[in-house]
Structure 1
Amino acid sequence: MLYLLPIPFLLLLGYLESVSSIQNQLIGIAQQRVNNIDTFIENIHKTNQSLLAYPINCDELHQQFLFDSTIRELFYVKDGEIVCSSKRGIMEKYIKSRLHNGQMRTIELLVDLISAPEITTLLIEDAKLDNPDIGILTLVSSEYLLEKLPFHTDDRLNAVLLTIHDRTLPIDAKVTESRYTVVYASHHYGYTLTLTPSWRFVGQNLTLYLFSALLLSLVLSSMALLGFLWMRHRHDLVEELKRGLRRHELFLVYQPIVASDDGTLHGYESLIRWFNPKHGFISPEHFVKVAEKSGIITRLTEYVLEQAWEDWKNMPVQTSLHLSINLPPSYLEHSDNINNLKEFASKFATLGIQLVAEITERQLLEQQGQKVLSELRQAKVHIAIDDFGIGRTALSVLQNIEFDYLKIDKCFIDTIGIDSGSTPVLNSIIDLGHRLDVDMIAEGVETQAQAEYLKKLDVGYQQGYLHSRPMDIGSVVDQLNKTVE
């Protein structure tokens, strides 16, 4: 049950993500509302300063603001006395004792109305720029201000609190701080907004993120389980392969290589196969990759060489027969393996069989690999570049090495007779082979049209189901006997 361990952790992660998401959403709401309130306050200050820039006529002030829904009342103050009101007209009310140091200033405050102490609203105060004894007091409509702090119409919010200098609005707002509470301050004016989400909003987010976390947990758990089963299967397959090598469950089949011009037998490519008593036939593409990743590919290659010798050692001496062996990239990295290959080449030579090492293009990219190829050719081992055209060989590398065969991959042969952009590539590969003066072997030839096309372009040898499927050593013996007859 180890694969279930991520569930508690991911549920906790989902919970933390939900908290973060709720807070981020609340910050977005608070930011939008602070921007709106900042703009509103800024406009009030600009209006106040605009009025102070000119002599104020009380009647005009009264007419201008009497029906303004955003302004409860605007007072013109001079030498510590209210001399004009937008609502009541000319006044004489001494308020110097209520002013800061008896003078006007530019500030925002929450105040209680003298005429209605139960009402708290926003006061915006502005002094004349060149005379602090003159200024304007603007009382914002509390109803309008509360519209800037809506939470009754927003089901995401339980409460919104405006705080200025330790005074709050609305005064009856109940804010129970929790891990979800967000406090956002204005960057321009001295107030903050405190937002508390509704439990419905919290519940929706928690449900969403916990469900997502649970779903992710199930996905990861399933992936972990599949990974565990795959690793166990791979480990089991590695052990099975080791036992298979010891028990000689693996065997070789041989696919003929024939001359394009007359179909005469040129040689064989040896191919490894595995019949496991428990799993039946296992694809080489599968177990060869497992062998490479598990580090037993060298043992598998040695097995192929040994098995090939066992199959052929009692054969009559041949007349220049080609026998190719596929070598993985790592095999030629060790001198012991190279010497082993040379020994087998010598033994096969006594039977008139030319051993050919089929290598991939990747092995040509390193200078050490190129040096090894030269050493093998000096030891009478022929070299074939396998699957040419699908690797990464640079043409500059090809002109610096010597090899004997260029094997053209089946994917290019398949384009013959089809309207395909790859056919010109095939023609270029064939032309390159002629220019390099090496023999070419076309792999995967399946139709007579392909065979004729390759013959026409002077590709020397062919290999594929058109000519023969891979055969066991008994069938090879029969074929060789018929050839002699």
Structure 2
Amino acid sequence: MRGVHSLSKLVKNIFAAWLACSFIFAIMAALAYVHQKETAKSNLIAVSNRIVADIDKEFAVVDDTLKHAVNLSPNCDNASLQYMRRLVFANPGMSEIGVINPNGELVCNSFGKLNPPVATTMPIKQPGLRYYGPIITDYLELPAFVLARTRADGYEVNVLMPDHWLKTALDISSHHNTDFVALVDNRTGVPVFLNGDYSLPLGRSLFPQANSTVVESRFDDGQVKFAYVSPLPSLTQMSLIVAKNDAELIAISWIWVLSLVLVYLVSCVGLTLLLNSYDKRQLSNKAQIIKALNNSELFNVYQPLVDVSRGDIVGVEVLIRWRHPIEGVLGPAYFIPEAERDGTILDISIAQVEQAMAELADLAQSQPDFKVSFNVNGLLLSSKRYIDTLLAAKMALPCITVELTERDMLTQGQIKTVLNELKRAGIEIAIDDFGTGYSGLQYLQSLPIDLLKIDQSFVASIGLDTLQSPVLSAVIDMAEKLDKKLIAEGVETMAQAEYLRHRGVTVHQGWLYHRALTLEGLLSTLAEKNKKRAA
């Protein structure tokens, strides 16, 4: 059976580790995917801005050249010809500079005067930089892109830029394998220069475009794309559009996937081992406590309850200690929290009641009013074994009290039924640490409470100007009005004892009178008090 239990624990831990790691890695993978995708989009925008900056820089140089070409002579005098040739030589992006007369005839270029003139298109009578082309030049016999300005005298000055220069700037292989890079007419969206397979988004008109814009939608080639459109600052007639298929924004390499899988598997294995280690530790602690019970290492100590009006010990609160074979005597803080987690608190508490019944039976028979108080929690009160043990102990210990904190009662739906059963059996019900919970008055009205134990934090506030001071007074007044008995915990000074006695709280518990005593110490103390009383 133990092997089957261990196997089931292992399977449970493997499943828990798999579930936890899968959940965490799924979140991490989703966050990493979103982060990488946003980074890829930012990179694409950066690439676009870099292309725009490169092209615009060259266009700005051309525009500045055209602005200063107002003095170029259409007669191609030597000064004008030398000026044009110097500009072409200084700017590799320019292949030719020409002058067109108002009739649309090219009359002069950087190669010399044209005779006869070459018929072209008439200059447009509007200010600013403009483009047309690509065209095939007569002199270079190469495709070129034309930037032009019309002068105030009606003549047009233009610059031919080689087509290959723009295609190099838009080279798709130089910009992270984008789906396409296009220099388009900003009015129509028609590509002037293009690298890649051009397409436009469905159901949306991009052009004309005045500002830089991000587009993420399905395009007319059926693919979902992320695109960035940016007008050229120096030539707003044109825009650059860079696009990439959404599915290709992130390139997942097999090395990255393999690394992630390995980390995932290592995490699952590590978490499984950790859970197994925790289970073994739990089993070890549980086994130690069970062994301690079997070896009678757990023993009771008794905190006396003193009636200061008579100076007598009228009862005890039963506490637990562990005489550990290696670490010596341990207080409850060292093992009770662990026992509450692994369930051995039930065995400990039943053993505590049975031991108290055996040790205090003679004392209780000689003093029937001698109060014996046990601390209980919701788990104990929901256990039939523990309730039966208490009821059996009532035969040997006539005056039993169970102390329950407000926090325990908050979590117990059937607490009222259990307390009524104990009440009918003659067991006194007390609220321990009263005033530190949240619903004290509600419990006093709805549950069969006989006694309130004033928490030591309120007792410690006596004589001090703290927030607890008025609460202590209110608790005492309320108990008096509701006819509830009071016991003060943690009494350590005479000033505290006198204040409580003056307020009618006569049963005290604390180091001012006695620390928790072993059975021998309790019997010895009682015998000494009886001897003094007899004398």
TM-score by length of 2: 0.59
Would you say 1:399 and 2:437 are equivalent positions? no
Q: Residues 144 and 243 (structure 1 numbering): CA distance in 2 closer, same or farther, change over 3 Å? A: same
> Deviation of residue 262 (structure 1)?
4.7
Between the aligned partners of 2:370 and 2:319, the Cα distance in structure 1 is 17
Q: Residues 93 and 436 (structure 1 numbering): CA distance in 2 closer, same or farther, change over 3 Å? A: farther
Would you say 1:383 and 2:433 are equivalent positions? no
Contact 1:251 1:272 (8 Å CA) reproduced: yes
Partner of 2:228: 186
- 1:62-94 residue CA offsets vs partner (Å, 9 max, x unmatched): 9xxx99x9x96899999x977699999999656
Q: Secondary structure at the match of 1:257?
A: strand
Would you say 1:368 and 2:414 are equivalent positions? yes
Computed over aligned residues only, the root mean square deviation of the Cα atoms, in angstroms, reads 5.7
Contact 2:134 2:163 (8 Å CA) reproduced: no
Contact 1:269 1:324 (8 Å CA) reproduced: yes
Would you say 1:281 and 2:329 are equivalent positions? yes
Between the aligned partners of 2:308 and 2:162, the Cα distance in structure 1 is 99
Between the aligned partners of 1:251 and 1:369, the Cα distance in structure 2 is 28
Partner of 1:291: 339
Letter in 1 for 2:298: L
Q: Residues 284 and 143 (structure 1 numbering): CA distance in 2 closer, same or farther, change over 3 Å? A: farther
Unaligned residue ranges in structure 1 (runs of 5+)? 46-57, 97-104, 127-135, 150-156, 169-182, 195-205
> Deviation of residue 438 (structure 1)?
1.0
Which is bigger in relative contact order (C-alpha 8 A, separation at least 6)? 1
Q: Residues 387 and 394 (structure 1 numbering): CA distance in 2 closer, same or farther, change over 3 Å? A: closer
Q: Residues 435 and 301 (structure 1 numbering): CA distance in 2 closer, same or farther, change over 3 Å? A: same
Partner of 1:323: 372
Question: Which deviates the most, 433-442 or 332-341?
Answer: 332-341
Between the aligned partners of 2:55 and 2:301, the Cα distance in structure 1 is 90
Letter in 1 for 2:331: S
Q: Secondary structure at the match of 1:241?
A: helix
> Deviation of residue 267 (structure 1)?
0.8
Would you say 1:435 and 2:481 are equivalent positions? yes
Overall identity of the aligned pairs, in %: 26
Q: Residues 143 and 190 (structure 1 numbering): CA distance in 2 closer, same or farther, change over 3 Å? A: closer
Between the aligned partners of 1:82 and 1:441, the Cα distance in structure 2 is 116
Between the aligned partners of 1:235 and 1:81, the Cα distance in structure 2 is 99
> Deviation of residue 441 (structure 1)?
1.5
Contact 2:434 2:440 (8 Å CA) reproduced: no
Between the aligned partners of 1:443 and 1:110, the Cα distance in structure 2 is 102
Q: Residues 116 and 410 (structure 1 numbering): CA distance in 2 closer, same or farther, change over 3 Å? A: farther
Q: Secondary structure at the match of 2:446?
A: coil
> Deviation of residue 235 (structure 1)?
2.2
Contact 1:75 1:82 (8 Å CA) reproduced: no
Q: Residues 377 and 184 (structure 1 numbering): CA distance in 2 closer, same or farther, change over 3 Å? A: closer
Between the aligned partners of 2:385 and 2:240, the Cα distance in structure 1 is 82
Between the aligned partners of 2:292 and 2:57, the Cα distance in structure 1 is 87
Letter in 2 for 1:359: L
Letter in 2 for 1:370: K
* Equivalent residue runs for 1:232-243 within 5 Å: 232-243=280-291
Q: Secondary structure at the match of 2:492?
A: coil
Q: Secondary structure at the match of 2:461?
A: coil
Contact 1:38 1:186 (8 Å CA) reproduced: no
Number of aligned positions between the proteins: 409
Q: Residues 308 and 35 (structure 1 numbering): CA distance in 2 closer, same or farther, change over 3 Å? A: same
* Equivalent residue runs for 1:67-466 within 5 Å: 115=140, 163-164=181-182, 165-166=194-195, 185-187=227-229, 189=239, 191-192=241-242, 231-315=279-363, 317-349=366-398, 354-365=399-410, 366=412, 368-466=414-512
Letter in 1 for 2:335: F
Between the aligned partners of 2:282 and 2:137, the Cα distance in structure 1 is 79
> Deviation of residue 319 (structure 1)?
4.4
- 1:394-439 residue CA offsets vs partner (Å, 9 max, x unmatched): 5223212221211122223233333422322333333332232211
Structure whose alpha-carbon radius of gyration is higher: 2
Partner of 1:202: none
- 1:268-288 residue CA offsets vs partner (Å, 9 max, x unmatched): 000011112144333312322
Partner of 1:31: 45
Letter in 2 for 1:281: V
> Deviation of residue 321 (structure 1)?
0.8
Q: Residues 38 and 429 (structure 1 numbering): CA distance in 2 closer, same or farther, change over 3 Å? A: farther
- 1:349-380 residue CA offsets vs partner (Å, 9 max, x unmatched): 2xxxx110111213444452112212211211
Q: Residues 36 and 313 (structure 1 numbering): CA distance in 2 closer, same or farther, change over 3 Å? A: same
Question: Which deviates the most, 231-240 or 30-39?
Answer: 30-39
> Deviation of residue 332 (structure 1)?
1.5
Contact 2:406 2:434 (8 Å CA) reproduced: yes
Contact 1:405 1:441 (8 Å CA) reproduced: yes
Q: Secondary structure at the match of 2:473?
A: helix
Letter in 1 for 2:405: T
> Deviation of residue 309 (structure 1)?
0.9
Between the aligned partners of 2:169 and 2:517, the Cα distance in structure 1 is 89
Q: Residues 391 and 95 (structure 1 numbering): CA distance in 2 closer, same or farther, change over 3 Å? A: farther
Partner of 1:180: none
Contact 2:459 2:491 (8 Å CA) reproduced: yes
Between the aligned partners of 1:228 and 1:285, the Cα distance in structure 2 is 25
Letter in 2 for 1:392: Y
Unaligned residue ranges in structure 2 (runs of 5+)? 1-12, 60-68, 74-86, 122-129, 149-157, 183-193, 198-224, 231-238, 245-254
Between the aligned partners of 1:81 and 1:466, the Cα distance in structure 2 is 116
Between the aligned partners of 1:453 and 1:138, the Cα distance in structure 2 is 105
Q: Residues 167 and 271 (structure 1 numbering): CA distance in 2 closer, same or farther, change over 3 Å? A: closer
Contact 2:309 2:506 (8 Å CA) reproduced: yes
Between the aligned partners of 1:124 and 1:26, the Cα distance in structure 2 is 34
